[in-house]
Structure 1
Amino acid sequence: MGAPADRRIRACPFEPCDEECFMSDPAGESVTAHAPASRAAIAWFFALSGLSFSNWAVRIPDIRTLLELSQSQLGALLLCPVIGSLGLTLLSNYLNNRFGSRRMTRVAACAIVVSLVLIGAAMSMLTLGLALVVFGAGMGLLNIAMNDQAATLERRYRRSIMSSFHGLFSLGGMAGSLVGGALATLGLTPRCHLLLVAGLLMVGILIAHRHLLAPPPRAERPVGALFVRPKGRVWLLGIIAAAVVFIEGSMADWSALFLTELGASRGHAALGLAVFTGTMAVGRLLGDRWLDRVGAVRALEIGSALALLGLGLAIVAASPIAALAGFALAGIGMSTLFPCLLSLAGRNRSMSPSGAIASVAMLGYLSMLGGPPMLGFLAEAITLHYAFVALVVAAALAIALARPAARA
């Protein structure tokens, strides 16, 4: 039974074809000419998500100092995006089916841009919390809507392209952390920094939104449920996704503070997120070939093992240089895990592809927004250095569940 299962898992979900055989849209009209523009537009929104998150994340130490927040207060504030994301993520399946993922991608991206301005302008814990609710709502809806766009485009291309989209998210995260770290070193205030970023992102939205994929006619779209409950092995895929994204989200929110506590300067501390997201970006851009070569199960196991080793090195060595090396190794390992999980979800037999992808992505992104605040509360009790052991445990869980999830 093992060998056939491996062949099934490793097989590409699409028959090989050239880009010229791009499929027709739901109305039967050829969209070959629009394929590059649509791919570029979707890629921009993945990059926007990474840019937004990292530009906010690298200014957390400055905002914490400005508002004189304790670690527990900061942890409580990081729960605010969870509130916004929870509501919109639960509604995302219904909204995408009711209005189409193209419109929801536009709306979510605009909400994120507005929230960045509000975060930078916040002068109290209350106003920052409200701004983070809006930010979480936009991120939650965008992550589901743009993955729906990407999955639809991948089915039309009839070959794997999902990993490259997530590579653009990581590139956006790397660019945002580098720019944010540089601006912090130059002394630019979080308000001016995030206002500048918001303006540039809005220009990109105005250019790219017209090329997103149009939904099928409204009469042909099913009425989406408010919550898509995973079924069968999709539950295991969702648990792995939660573990994987818990690591990603925690690195985004806490890597700078982790390095600061090891003695790194503000500018060098921002390099932690840049190194992690940069190596993830490279791995994801090359990830489609890697997944085809080793298969989904091996990719999940090897990637999770590299993440475990890298995070363990950062904890045990306890020096900024060693931590950066560990973050780089962890980024390489983490690079293809989430795209691989979405591809496996799309090939499952327990649910419809769109429903499975939505449920796995939802569990993952809820973990990204809910896990880091919990890490903050843990850090308050045992210090942030030892709290990072939770990330090692999450990587070990992903290794343990990889094979059962892929074969169940």
Structure 2
Amino acid sequence: MLTGVFTLVGFGMAVWGARMPAVQAAAGLGPGRLALVLLAAAAGMVAGLQIGGHLAQRHGPARLLVGPAMVFGLAIAALGQCRTLTSLSVAAMAFGLAHGLIDVGANTAAVHCQRGYGRPIMSSLHAAYSLGALGGAALAAVTTWLPHPTLFAAVGAGTVLAAVAAAPAVRRLHGADSPDLANGATPDAPSRLGRSTMWLLGALAAACLLGEGAAADWAAVHLHSLNASESAAAAAYALYSAAMASGRLLGDRLTARYGAAAVVRTGALFAAAGLGTALAVGSPTAALAGWMALGLGLSTAVPSLITAAGRGGPRAVGTVAATGYIGLLAGPAAIGALASVTSLPAALTLPAVLAAVVALTARRALEP
């Protein structure tokens, strides 16, 4: 059931992102006004992560799965119908709020389920999100002939129906067989994660998600600056995403065998070395390999950081996730600012340097 939740959210996010130019054109928004819509979505997401942590602590994370998923679907449908800045901003804020609530609920539930299984499963669940995103992007790409309001309405309706269909399973998850999920964190959970460790986990999540934001917004631009073909430039983020999904599918087995700290440290070193080498070589082929290395190397980091945050209960999960999203949202802008005063290759060393920092501090953050 949790696999379906992660897949559904990734799918919806990708459809929204891939057809955003159509939404922008329909509302007649320039880049500045579109940025306000995206800011509303970001504000809603951060609020959802913080509110979700408190709700999950009090009522259990299962309560944050069905209702917010229905709101998420309705918001997707609404985003396809909006034609003004105000209506788009309201719908985007609801979209982000629902995403944040689901994020806390699904990740906290995954932490509890992982304890029940007695083996790592978080990386596979995050792989489901990545695969859902790939599926959503593919659907948006092959349905460009379909008006975006129709596509968004169909995806939104499908999301609502899936949430309704999952309600019985969520009720069972919230029932007597899952006391941790019903009652939130165990009483001793907050004492198992110090505040300094919680903020370190959040900072490392921000560092990793900055790399993801850099790949989403700058990988194609980087390839274009190297005189790569349009198809090669467009493939950069797809290869990054595919590498990340592949790494997450393998991540649980590697974590079970070697431990989270060792896997994250090795992967982050690989990411830093791969992207750093690609930037130094400066060829399209090397760049594609470098973005793939970044995706593969960082693939297990965020799932492991969220798992570690689970030692402090749902509020810690929400705080770490919210801090991480700051890197995702602010990172691309920071790279753009650096590029304006240096050069794009120099600015893109930022995610490589931060990956090295993750490697150096992974043991301290992830070992109880």
TM-score (norm: length of structure 1): 0.74
Tell me the CA shift for residue 367 of structure 1.
Answer: 3.6
Q: Give the Cα separation in 1 of the matches to 2:10 and 2:141.
A: 15
How far does the alpha carbon of each residue in 1:99-156 deviate from its partner, in whole angstroms, 9 at most, with x for none?
Answer: 4322211122122212222322333444333322122111111111101111121122
**TM-aligned CA deviation for residue 320 of structure 1:** 5.9
Out of 351, 355, 358, which is 1:395 matched to? 355
**Alpha-carbon deviations, 1:134-189, whole Å to 9, x = none?**
221111111111011111211222222111111111111121222223334xx444
Contact map agreement 2:44 2:94 (CA 8 A) in 1:
yes
1:69 pairs with 2:30: yes
More off after superposition, 248-257 vs 192-201? 248-257
Match runs of 1:245-394 below 5 Å: 245-252=209-216, 255=219, 271-312=235-276, 315=279, 322-346=286-310, 352-372=312-332, 387-394=347-354
1:221 partnered with 2:179: no
Deviation at 1:90, TM superposition (A): 1.5
Residues 72-106 of structure 1, C-alpha deviations (whole Å, 9 max, x = no match): 55444432222112222221122123443222111
Q: What's 1:36 paired with?
A: none
Partners of 2:50 and 2:315 within 8 A in 1: no
Given that residues 248 and 300 in structure 2 are in contact (C-alpha distance below 8 angstroms), is that contact kept between their aligned partners in structure 1?
yes
1:235 to 199, 209, 215: 199
Amino acid at match of 2:272: L
How do 1:56-135 residues align onto structure 2 when only pairs under 5 Å count? 56-64=16-24, 67=28, 69-70=30-31, 73-135=33-95
Question: Counterpart in 1 of 2:153?
Answer: 195
Number of paired residues?
357
State the TM-score, normalized to the length of structure 2: 0.81
1:23 match = none
SS of 1:78's equivalent in the other structure is helix
- Counting aligned pairs with the same residue, the percent is 32
**Shift of residue 380, structure 1, vs aligned partner:** 7.3
Taking the aligned partners of 1:221 and 1:358, their CA distance within structure 2 comes to 16
Structure 2 gaps of 5+ residues are none
SS at match of 2:30: coil
Does the residue aligned with 1:232 lie in a helix, a strand or coil? helix
What secondary structure sits across from 1:159 in the alignment? coil
Please give the root-mean-square deviation of Cα atoms over the aligned residues, in Å: 3.5
Q: Which residue of 2 aligns with 1:183?
A: 143
State the AA in 2 paired with 1:149. Answer: A
Three-state SS of the structure 2 residue aligned to 1:286 is helix
Unaligned runs of 5+ in 1: 1-40
2:54/2:315 contact within 8 Å kept: no
Gap change, CA 1:249 and 1:109, over 3 Å in 2: farther
CA shift, 1:209, in A, is: 3.0
Q: Counterparts of 1:23-34 in structure 2 under 5 Å?
A: none
Deviates most, 358-367 or 111-120? 358-367
Q: How does 1:147-162 map to 2 (within 5 A)?
A: 147-162=107-122
Letter of the 1:69 partner, please give it. G
Distance 1:133 1:241 in 2: 23
Q: Is the 8 A contact 1:60 1:253 kept in 2?
A: no
For residues 339 and 103 of structure 1, the distance between their equivalents in structure 2, rounded to whole angstroms, comes to: 22
Q: Secondary structure at the match of 1:123?
A: coil
**In 2 relative to 1, CA 332–255 (structure 1 residues): closer, same or farther, beyond 3 Å?**
same
Listed one character per residue, the Cα deviations across residues 368-387 of structure 1 (whole Å, up to 9, x for unaligned) are 34544555666777787765
Residue 400 of structure 1, CA deviation: 3.1
Moved more, 338-347 or 154-163: 338-347
Query: Could you say if the C-alpha distance between residues 154 and 222 of structure 1 is closer, same or farther in structure 2, counting changes exceeding 3 Å?
Result: closer
Q: Distance in 2 between matches of 1:95 and 1:132?
A: 22
The one-letter code of the counterpart of 2:90 is: L
- What CA deviation, in whole Å up to 9, does each residue of 1:39-68 have, x standing for no partner? xx1110011121122222223445456645
Residue number in structure 1 paired with 2:102? 142
Return closer, same or farther for 1:288/1:407 CA change in 2, 3 Å cut-off: closer
Cα displacement string for residues 277-331 of structure 1 (whole angstroms, at most 9, x for unaligned residues): 2221221111111113333222222211232244446655666655443332222
C-alpha spacing 1:252/1:112, structure 2 compared with 1 (3 Å): farther
2: CA distance between counterparts of 1:105 and 1:57?
22
Q: How far does residue 235 in structure 1 lie from its aligned partner after superposition?
A: 2.2
Segment drifting more, 135-144 vs 361-370: 361-370
| 2:153 alignment partner AA | L
Tell me how far apart the structure 1 counterparts of residues 271 and 168 of structure 2 sit (CA, whole Å). Answer: 38
Instruction: Tell me whether 209-218 or 262-271 shows the greater mean CA deviation.
Output: 262-271
Residue 173 in 1 paired to residue 137 in 2?
Answer: no
